[in-house]
Amino acid sequence: MSDPTILVLSSLADGEKHGYAIMEDIQGFANVRLGPGTLYGAITRLEQRGWIRPVDSSDRRRPYRITGAGREHLEERLASLNQVVKTAMRRLKHA
Amino acid sequence: MRQLIRWMARLYPAGWRERYAAELDALIDDIQPKWQDLFNVLLGALRMRMATGSYLKIMAFAGLAGALVAGVGALLTEDRYVSTAVVRFTFAGLADSDRQGTLDRLRRMQQEVLSRKSLGELMTQSALDLYPEDRKRMPLEDVVENMRKGLRINLLEGPNWRATTFEISCMYPDKFKAQSVVREVMAKFVEQLNTTQRSQAPPAAVTLQLLDPANLPKQPIFPNRLVMVAVGLVCGAGLGLLAVLVRRSAARFFKSA
């Protein structure tokens, strides 16, 4: 689970955050440190696809918010991932 | 480090910088920057250029990135100096029957000088203290093997019935120690020769003549930093072109599919 776009969407799922807050949050829940280039690469792609949008701010630290489409995409990807996890766990138990 | 990362961030395309540069700058202010962040931002800029730039610009940028990475690598690479001495063994007044035996003794002397015991002693001499870091983390056999790679005894002339000339050279990060090692190896040859001569009855008529004493190298022989940067530039430009061709072909394929 190291896809930066899914990590960023997961971070924004509980509310808006700016770049550094996203980075810290991901480090906390996934134990993955996204570099600045990777984080802003993911933010750029997510914004282009309409899955996140910037929140108006006069601060340099501009926060981002997940959109409805972004939430839908995240749910789809997590459901698919959940299916993989469940199958793998079941097989591990029976092995 | 922060300033270096900021310079690297200037490599992003102008359109991207207009939109995100202030935010990225704020992020760089907030984090505890590491070396990997520098390369991460460089890679991010490269990816962004590949997604948006022209072939020529991408090649120029990738070449610059390659040169930069090679430059950092070249700066981090340790200098290597080579000190060299030339020595001649002359055989005088030997009977034909003694000559082959003398040459064999010479070969045995060389083996003895390069033996694990001899090089191990040399390495741990307090005045030399060679490969101290390697000795802490590697078995002595491996360190001796590394030392042998940097220590060369090359035949320049012979072996024939009159004389044999050797070039002894040592490559080491410290030029003074490289010179000292060559001197010590020479001293070991003299010691071996004296031991051999004493044990012969009658003594073998072999003399050792120092043609060139161990020199103190002025310039490192390795790395050639200019060549490394040039190779980085060419490889970077080539890889950049290849990557953008693959990426755009794949994008066209998926679009048509």
Judgement on whether residues B68 and B124 belong to the same structural domain of the protein: no
Residue pLDDT, tens place only, B13-49? 888 899 999 999 999 999 888 888 998 998 898 888 8
Contact A35 B36 (CB under 8 A): yes
Residue B52 has pLDDT above 60, yes or no: yes
A93 part of contact set with chain B, CB < 8 Å: no
Residue A13 is given by DSSP the state T
Contact A18 B23 (CB under 8 A): yes
Q: Does the interface ipTM go beyond 0.90?
A: no
Of A18, A23, A37, the CB nearest to B45: A37
Contact A37 B44 (CB under 8 A): yes
Question: Where is pLDDT greater, at B252 or A67?
Answer: A67
Contact A38 B40 (CB under 8 A): yes
Residue of B nearest to A24 (CA): B31
Judgement on whether residues B50 and B148 belong to the same structural domain of the protein: no
Neighboring chain B residues of A37 at a CB cutoff of 8 Å: 37, 40-45, 47
Of B31, B36, B44, the CB nearest to A40: B44
User: Min CA distance, B155 vs chain A (Å)?
Assistant: 54
Predicted local confidence at residue B183, as pLDDT: 93
Residue B59 has pLDDT above 70, yes or no: yes
- Decide if B217 is inside a domain: no
Half-sphere exposure of B204 (CA within 13 A, CB side): 26
B41 part of contact set with chain A, CB < 8 Å: yes
- Decide if B10 is inside a domain: yes
Judgement on whether residues B174 and B193 belong to the same structural domain of the protein: yes
Range of the domain at A69: 4-94
Closest CA to B232 of B63, B33, B98, B55: B63
Please state, rounded to an integer, the average pLDDT across all residues of chain B: 85
Q: With 0-12 CB in 10 A as exposed, 13-18 as middle and 19+ as buried, what is B215?
A: middle
Contacts for A75 with CB less than 8 Å, ≥ 6 apart: none
Judgement on whether residues B245 and B187 belong to the same structural domain of the protein: no
Q: Which of the residues in chain A have pLDDT under 70?
A: 1
Residue B83 has pLDDT above 70, yes or no: yes
Number of structural domains (chain B) is 2
Contact B25 A60 (CB under 8 A): yes
Q: Rounded distance, CA B252 to CA B8, Å?
A: 30
Contact B27 A19 (CB under 8 A): yes
Range of the domain at B22: 2-77+223-256
